[in-house]
Structure 1
Amino acid sequence: MAEYPFKYGNTQYNFKIERGELLHLLKPRPAVPIADVHQKCIEALENPIGTLPLRQIISPGENVLLIVSDITRAWIRTNQFLVHIINYLNGLSIPDQDISVLIALGTHRPSTEEEKKQIVGEEIYNRIAIYDHDCFDPGQLENLGTSSAGTPIQIHKRVVAADRVILTGGIVFHLFAGFGGGAKGIVPGVAGLETIQHNHRLTFYEGESAGLNPDACSNKIEGNPMRQDITEICRRVNPDFLFNAVLDAEGNFIEFVAGDFEAAWLKGCNTIRQLYGIEVKEKADLIIASAGGYPKDINLYQSVKTMDNCIFGGKEDSVILLLAECRDGLGADEFLEWFQYDTLEKMEAALKRNFTVPGYAAYKAAYVAKYRKLVLLSSLEDEVVGRLGFIPARSMEEAISLAYSLAGEQPKITLMPYGANTLPILA
């Protein structure tokens, strides 16, 4: 009988299927990691998609602003490629004093100095001016009108004032924007709170208790109202260049895409689909999933993405057994507060009044609890897990026993050992 390894924090559990039918074992497709990061960075910069090479865009004497992801996206390993972009700019006669970096915090907390150093790397930290975006400070924002969806466009003044803007980031499936990376560096990255909240409300239908808009989901770009609004706003801002990374499940660089913020990003999205979009022939009665170990299961907030991916692979009212250590607890101070609302409708109404990303993650968790039976093996206290609507387990043996008791005698089973990355796509 085969054993299947599942990561949990920094450890691992091995699982055997003792009864039932194995439908699918979902793993990322193999890819060859980039051997020479510097060389591939230069190749991407000099062979862009949908726009001219940087050397034909930027002129000496212009000031250049690079937008980078914050510490919550440390998996992108910005510090491994940013130095090559900045050195390349130096080679175009753009000195360090004409280059600055803006950390795209969205609604996240400010960066510490140590985190800034970690994000950009020690060398760049000591060479280049590094700034945090603050969506709550009106003095940092410039008004650029309104999008066709009615979103007020408030963008960090440094972005508007810069002669040239380069977006950086990483591409993954995103549970409501379709994919991460690309224009998300602008919205929510360097946008004002009002912009972010209005844009994120597009994940719901308009009207009281209207529910989630199913088009605002992972792997969907065309027809996704939130993503279309982000793209329109980014086109209004008109950044000059994009550099995005695609990584494998182990954190190795697979591809760099560069050029027009949308055209280059779309190429990276297709790579993500090829790596992580796994076709399934039918939906399961029981999904056994791991977020992928630390840091993907560092807290429950980060583990919601795995729950969302599991929804696509299971039948309605099916069972999910999720391994997520959650060593840092829930991951957002406000997360549990959203469960004061005892129905999805009440939570939706509160989100429409005051949208926050942790609130949306809480909504998604509550949504999973309503439409699936989720057994959670974690370090969270049983009382907290129960309040979220999940079934707590203290050991793998207990978790398996609970899952089987809920799924029936001969369940059809899908295994997702890389649940944060892999997305089941029904054939």
Structure 2
Amino acid sequence: MHRQMSQAHVEQLLRGAVALHQQGRLDEAAAAYGEVISQAPETLAAHSNLGSLLRQLDRLEEAERHLRRAAELAPGHPTPLGNLGHLLRWTGRYGEAAEVLEAALALDPGNGELATNLGAACLGLGRWADGWRLFAQREATTKARQKGFGFPMWQGEPLAGRSVFIWQEQGYGDQIQAARFVSGLKSAGAGRVTLAPPRPLVRLFATLDGVDEILPCDPGEAIVVPPHDVWTLPFALPQHLGVTLKTLTNQPYLAAPEAARRRWAGWPEGEVGFVWHGNPAQPVERYRGLPSPDLLEPLRGLARLVDLQAPRGDFADTAAIVEQLDLVITTDTAMAHLAGALGAPCWLMLPALGADWRWALEPSRSPWYPSMRIFRQRAAGDWADVVEAMRQALASGGRRSAEAVRRP
């Protein structure tokens, strides 16, 4: 009877901890989960939930310890392994993350979220054949399938003159990054190629090689898609086109339209443009963005800075401005991809936590954009070292020696 009452008491404590967790009272919930574990050390839910909660609080070493314990307590269950793998990737430990996520996916082969996370880990490691195949199971693919375009999804079979419709996915920066693959469709034998980007990208994407038609479509907007032979997503292209690190396009593939160049000729009242944060609605932005543009103040004595944070027209207009600058400094935003796609010198500021897979291959350079230099945080949340490194680079004339490879 005492044992049953003890178990009932533990379950009551666990329900209380979960309630606090759901209410967002994280510190109290953490203490409550700790109390559960102190009374019943093998309570799987307490270790799993506490690990996830501590990750939210950036108490990462403690989080890892509890997530590993949860995985030990449920060796045949994929969820604890998946949570651990996500944490490892979040902290930049891609090799360990891939190993853990492979084990999780083996337990649940049809889990699209696990496959996507493993795909991202493989891409970060340069294992692109595996990475693109697994990344194809991301949520964007599922949503696009549900739209039902009325013609089949391209699975990589020979195109032989067939028409291809490319639907949009993810954010502006992702779409700019993936736009480099579009020209490969013509080389692979495609006939008519149609893009459907959001309106802010339409004029910029009109400068892409290999595009026959552009259908503007903002998120949530209804669109009538003319019949095509097949449809695909931008990040499905590297898998089906067999893109590798060796064949990755390393030349500029976008340019400002002439009309935008005429409109903005001579506008920038500075030499170095900067963007200090992205979309605040994105949870990851609290790691990626600077808390204030004032942190860049040490650079002002070395260059005339121009704040590019506020939009000035669409991406074609922004491209025309960027083309006139000596250098762009930015956090992980669409601006980084735009500058890189233009071949403009760009310095990218990256956080210690949550840096994306596309920046994982090299510490200071990017195979995606030869004109880019990466400055990484040494400690989570501390941008001082990043700004100081950029200050020293500016002082030594670094912006004039950037590897700009602008598109003619």
* TM > 0.5: no
Higher relative contact order (CA 8 A, sep 6+): 1
Relative to its length, the structure with more helix (as a share) is 2
TM bracket, shorter-chain basis = under 0.3
TM-score (norm 2): 0.25
TM-score (norm 1): 0.24
Which structure has the larger Rg?
A: 2
Relative to its length, the structure with more strand (as a share) is 1
